[in-house]
Amino acid sequence: MSPSDAPIPDARHIANGWEIPTDSYSDQPYIVRTDDGAWLCCVTTGAGVEGAPGQYIATRRSADQGRTWSEPVAVEPPGGPEASYAVMLKVPSGRVYIFYNHNTDRVTEVKRHDGGVYTRVDSLGHFVLKYSDDHGRTWSDERWDLPVREFACDRENVYGGKLRFFWNVGKPFIHAGAAYVSLHKVGKMGEGFFAQSEGVLLKSSNLLTERDPARLVWETLPEGDVGLRTPPGGGPVSEEQSYCVLSDGSFYCVYRSIDGYPVETYSRDAGRTWTAPRYKRYADGRRMKHPRAANFAWRCANGKFLYWFHNHGGRFVGEHPNAPTFAYEDRNPVWLCGGEEVETPDGREIRWTQPEIILYDDDPFVRMSYPDLVEEEGRYYLTETQKDLARVHEVDPSLLEGLWGQFERATVAEESLVLDLREPLPDVVDLPRLPAFLTRDHTRTDYGTRDLRAGFTVDLWLQCGSQEPGLPLLDARDEQGRGWALVPGYNGAARVVLNDGRTENAWCSDPGLLASGALQHLTVIVDGGPKLILFLVDGALCDGGEHRQFGWGRFSPNLRDAHGSGSLRIGDSVRGLHVYARALRVSESIGNHRAGPPTAR
């Protein structure tokens, strides 16, 4: 068996997904469920890379939840005027509309606002639609332009609005008998390609009932001539708006910036006006971090929400000297938050949980984005693309249940618990052997590496200040330094060290943990799937805060294990300890924290 044939024992690895066939380039694999029970997927594709001449829109159908696909149907022909960035909407009659950019006028280059030109011409021209009345087997020969009201950013572009720049990744939605289609206006083309952008909604009051596309009525929202932008003092980029409708009819919108944080806003009047944009936060009040990448929110059939993002950034992105371009980096791994509606004085809002890793690739430079969420018969599926390969992934329901139950969970995880200590703790205790990360694969002809995708977790209560500074909190290393230890790090951080005798790896919690004299809960998750180390402090996942861009860190894919002496030395500050022979989920760590210290149980 060759390495490429070996199964990957982690459902979160993107290679475990089912491929959606495309040409060389593949973008925005979005799905609607047609009235004949099939999945209809649209993609932007082409023989070249993103933005290359001749890219086009194609659709395929699947009757088995994305495992296999029909032959492609071209919505626009390959090699014609660039057709890009399609989204679809199914209306009650079963008709499916598809909306996309079309370079109808065959523009070959565009001016930058800061001088020079771009020859990439896939984000301009006409915003158009076609339709299918046979569940995506064929598409109308004719296309129709959607009228889009001019905004200030259009008038102020280098062409004075005679040529407009725009694109869309946000999925359409239906509310109160009207259809809404997202659009991202671009006022300036320059550094980072889109140098200024903002979001609008196109509303049609008769799309759901009118059969003649020429008779459709459209209006551009919000009112006025300025779209959805960043909060006051934020950067010029506000794009890739994603929308949900709450149970009280409020619209929720989240979108990307180059500030290092996602932006959110609510509308209480169906998109005509919006609350002041603000940076998105967890339920505990901390700002979420996110680079310049798609971050989408979905409302599920159970009334709960899911949110896709990348969990790093902050001022380290926003203050970077080349932020518009630098912010595109690091879209791997992908994280999901759960959400639920809560009442506020201003109407319903969504409170968001701590995140879990949902997808990853072993190559940290591989980027995955532009997802879609599909629900069918109580099962959940995500699509994604790395721009050359699109896939469908079924989501582990227990992960989603953990996210949606995170605000209530207050029990200690029991699965794979190999060490459970309460006060009084011994100075030294036997430590069961923890799983290896790598081993030799005897099924391979070259006897190479088999990645076990295993991990372990150290979960403890501690009260710092009660032991001599500099001494380890926990130490399972042998006389050669092999094994693992939890030691003091810089600026009051806790630092985990992993050593297999060949390589040593370390990562720190956010600063300040060990400076407190209070009783605190700390979880160290060593996840051998994506090769990440996560710290949680008092139920909060470390994200680097104002101290660093990343709260999570990578360890070497060559680390074989963290086997040490077979015994664990315990520092005086430790008040309770759990060791697990697997990587806990974030939701489980939070449950451990909420259960309280061992003496309280």
Residues 233-253: pLDDT tens digits? 999 999 999 999 999 999 999
Please check whether residues 73 and 207 belong to one and the same domain: yes
Q: What is the model's pLDDT at position 2? A: 43
Among 427, 355, 410, 477, residue whose Cα is nearest residue 577: 427
* Across 121-147, average pLDDT: 98
Please check whether residues 435 and 387 belong to one and the same domain: no
Give the predicted TM-score (pTM) of the model.
0.97
Q: What is the model's pLDDT at position 515? A: 76
Beta partners for residue 128, in sequence order:
100, 145
Phi–psi pair at 291, nearest 5 degrees: -85, -160
Query: Does residue 1 belong to any structural domain of this protein?
Result: no
Please check whether residues 171 and 292 belong to one and the same domain: yes
**Whole-angstrom Cα distance, residue 110 to residue 102?**
15
**Whole-angstrom Cα distance, residue 145 to residue 150?**
15
Long-range contacts of 464-473 (CB under 8 A, 24+ apart): 464/513, 464/514, 464/515, 464/516, 464/517, 464/520, 464/573, 465/517, 465/573, 466/572, 466/573, 467/571, 467/572, 467/573, 471/571, 472/569, 472/571, 473/570, 473/571, 473/573, 473/574
Is residue 468 very low, low, confident or very high in pLDDT (cuts 50, 70, 90)?
low
pLDDT per residue as tens digits for the range 258-315: 999 999 999 999 999 999 999 999 999 999 999 999 999 999 999 999 999 999 999 9
Q: Look at 4-18, 306-320, 388-402, 557-571 and tell me which has the smallest mean pLDDT.
A: 4-18
Residue 593 in 3-state DSSP? Answer: helix
> What tokens appear for 331 in the block?
């879209």
Query: How far from chain centre, in Å, is Cα 4?
Result: 26
Query: Does residue 412 belong to any structural domain of this protein?
Result: no
CATH number at residue 343: 2.120.10.10
Please check whether residues 467 and 388 belong to one and the same domain: no
pLDDT per residue as tens digits for the range 6-38: 679 999 999 999 999 999 999 999 999 999 999
pLDDT per residue as tens digits for the range 401-437: 999 999 999 999 999 999 999 999 999 999 999 999 9
Query: Does residue 139 belong to any structural domain of this protein?
Result: yes
pLDDT per residue as tens digits for the range 193-232: 999 999 999 999 999 999 999 999 999 999 999 999 999 9
529, 12 Cβ separation under 8 angstroms: yes
Question: Any idea which residue has 């700002």 for tokens?
Answer: 287
Query: Does residue 220 belong to any structural domain of this protein?
Result: yes
51, 75 Cβ separation under 8 angstroms: no
* Across 494-507, average pLDDT: 97
Q: What is the model's pLDDT at position 348? A: 97
Query: Does residue 579 belong to any structural domain of this protein?
Result: yes
Helix H, strand E, coil C: the string for 239-293 is: EEEEEEECCCCCEEEEEECCCCCCEEEEECCCCCCCCCCEECECCCCCECCCCCC
> What tokens appear for 525 in the block?
């998750």
Q: What is the model's pLDDT at position 1? A: 38
Q: What is the model's pLDDT at position 516? A: 74
Please check whether residues 175 and 291 belong to one and the same domain: yes
Please check whether residues 62 and 94 belong to one and the same domain: yes
Phi–psi pair at 586, nearest 5 degrees: -55, -40
Transcribe 199-240 into DSSP letters: EEEEEESSTTT---GGG---EEESSSS--B-PPTT--S--EE
CA gyration radius, the chain = 26
Choosing from 370, 404, 438, the residue where a domain stops is: 404
Choosing from 404, 432, 450, the residue where a domain stops is: 404
CATH number at residue 568: 2.60.120.200
Please check whether residues 450 and 559 belong to one and the same domain: yes
Please check whether residues 306 and 431 belong to one and the same domain: no
Please check whether residues 383 and 427 belong to one and the same domain: no
Q: What is the model's pLDDT at position 517? A: 81
Q: Provide the b/e sequence for 473-486 (b: ≥16 CB within 10 Å).
A: bbbbbeeeebbbbb
Q: What is the model's pLDDT at position 469? A: 64
**Whole-angstrom Cα distance, residue 471 to residue 427?**
13
Phi–psi pair at 326, nearest 5 degrees: -55, -35
Residue 33 in 3-state DSSP? Answer: strand
CA atoms within 13 A on the CB side of 139: 23
Please check whether residues 334 and 464 belong to one and the same domain: no
Query: Does residue 123 belong to any structural domain of this protein?
Result: yes
* Across 386-403, average pLDDT: 97
Please check whether residues 301 and 427 belong to one and the same domain: no
**Whole-angstrom Cα distance, residue 81 to residue 76?**
9
Please check whether residues 148 and 242 belong to one and the same domain: yes
Average per-residue pLDDT in the chain?
96
Kindly report the CA angle at 438 between 434 and 439, in degrees rounded to 5? 100
Q: What is the model's pLDDT at position 65? A: 96
pLDDT per residue as tens digits for the range 307-345: 999 999 999 999 999 999 999 999 999 999 999 999 999
Query: Does residue 340 belong to any structural domain of this protein?
Result: yes
Number of domains in the chain: 2
Transcribe 533-566 into DSSP letters: EEEEETTEE---TTT-S-SSEE--TT------SS
Query: Does residue 130 belong to any structural domain of this protein?
Result: yes
**Whole-angstrom Cα distance, residue 130 to residue 431?**
64
For residue 564, give its domain range: 417-600
Choosing from 375, 404, 433, the residue where a domain stops is: 404
